[in-house]
Amino acid sequence: MGFKDKVKDMMSRHGDKVDQGVEKAGDAADRRTGGKHRHHIDTGTGKARETRKRMTGEEGESGTGGPAA
């Protein structure tokens, strides 16, 4: 089992924790920037969640975490 397979397995078993960590990091970055880059941070956290779902084969909500265009 290669490294990528191990990461996929970990994300499959603990996806909720990964998402919580991504959200917590995004909130911290938002606080540190004083909200100036909120849109970019939200886009990044949304893409991180989408990538985790795509890697683990999860289906469902696929929003970017940012405002609707």
User: What residue segments make up the domains of the chain, in order of their start?
Assistant: 1-10+18-25+34-56
3-state secondary structure of 54: helix
Q: Residues 11-68: pLDDT tens digits? A: 889 999 999 999 999 999 999 999 999 999 999 999 999 999 998 888 665 444 444 4
- Structure tokens belonging to residue 13: 């078993």
State the pTM of this model. Answer: 0.71
| pLDDT score for 66 | 46
Residues 6+ apart with CB under 8 A from 7: 55
